[in-house]
Amino acid sequence: MNYLTDFPYNHVLVLGLAKSGTAAAKLLKTSGKKVIVNDLKTNSGAPEVATLKGMGIDVVLGSHPLSVLDGVEILVKNPGIPYDNIIIKEATERDIPIITEIELASHLLKGSLIGITGSNGKTTTTTLIYEMIKQSNKGVKIAGNIGKVATEVAQTMTEEETMVIELSSFQLLGIQTFKPRVAVLLNLFEAHLDYHKTLEHYKHAKANIFLNQTEDDYLVYNFDDETVLSMVKGAKAEKIPFSTKLKMESGAWVDEHYLYFRLERIIALNDIALVGKHNLENILAAVCAAKLDGASNDGIIQVLKTFTGVKHRLQFVENVKGRLFYNDSKATNILATSKALSSFNQPTLLLAGGLDRGNDFDGLIPYLENVKAMIVFGETSEKLKTTALKAGIKTIEFVDNVKYATEKAFQLSDIDDVILLSPACASWDQFRTFEERGDMFIEAVHTLK
């Protein structure tokens, strides 16, 4: 087991439980630190509370008393807690450093680290990289939003292993020394502005993935994304571009028939199982990162011939009486849904809606050409109807939830139609997570069958 032997703080406040906070508190305690945990919403009867108290950790629930900061040298924040939280603001006033759990993980890490971020495609790319390295018979573990908490994974890693970690902007805001040997920046557009407030703040958070990199590290980046291009100009790491449009002699690229890494032909495009142009970008990024970590061509090819997607991310669910059902519940913004729509040429019934973050949906209009009907739900129903009308969609149905949307879409569909759940919105108006939303869709599809 690896412990925090070089972490220079002895009295730590963990703000927010959930998986990352609980894991951080346990690690800090077993590493000999004095730990206090503060959480507003967790029930006192929750099993993780009993576990932490049993370890001798002071757990304060139900409120945010400023006294929890007394004597504290550093604060470990749950990524989802905003910076206008009363404890965060007070910690800032007291000049107490604020980090997230991934910073702790970096103090444990013995092996190599590949970090992936971007507005879309993180989970698919992270999974591809992990599988490519694994199929190359190299030691690898996966962590972050996609799986186990990074601190849990890092505790058992050896110097011969690689950690592949999906990183959100929320996590990347809270770093000090964290740096991946290979950083991957997929794309960037307006997202999470309810949290970050401005696009510049959001870009700053994402750019932290290469903030501490040196000339000995690698930065894999999307050459086709102008925002990404501007962001990486000052990066110190060796830059490895990928492009679906241009030849990249120092990175990954495609022509009409093949995918290449540098000047080496890797695989025929027709042999790649994963559909969608946006997924081709994810694949190119994954090939770069995997090759830089020493993955073999055989391992990479095996994955690309068999990998068909991650659950809730343009996941093929079922063919029911000639209708093709796809679950893209992870599409929580306009860009993700536009990319999903671009993956199909046949008539499509789009299921969309969810949390209202204040934006309109007119950015979807160029991608709605093949949409024959839109079934909308949640807080954004009226806004999506407005967009659908502008796009000339004649069939627009309002329903209460995803289950009824699935049933209605089936009633309106014909043989060979695509029925696509791609909400373009976060799920929190009706669901705890996008996974819960996607599971309702899958269950409804199976019920239809």
Annotated binding site for ATP: 118-124
Copy the structure tokens of residue 275: 């559909």
Measured in degrees and rounded to the nearest 5, phi and psi for residue 416 equal 80, 0
Cα Dmax for the chain: 67
**Distance, CA of 97 to CA of 88 (rounded, Å):** 10
Q: Which residues are annotated as a binding site?
A: 118-124
> Among 239, 26, 23, 51, which Cα is nearest to 144's?
23
Extract the tokens encoding 71.
Answer: 């004597």
Residue 195: helix, strand or coil by DSSP?
helix
Residue 368 CB contacts under 8 Å (≥ 6 apart), including other chains: 341, 350, 374, 387, 388, 391, 393
Question: Whole-angstrom Cα distance, residue 174 to residue 177?
Answer: 10
Tell me how far apart the terminal alpha carbons of the chain are, to the nearest angstrom: 48
Other beta carbons within 10 angstroms of residue 397's beta carbon come to: 19
Strands 98-99 and 395-398: unpaired
Contacts 24+ apart (CB under 8 A), 239-244: 240/288, 240/292, 242/281, 242/284, 242/285, 242/287, 242/288, 243/284, 244/277, 244/280, 244/281, 244/284
**C-alpha dihedral, 22 to 26 to 27 to 28, nearest 10°:** 100
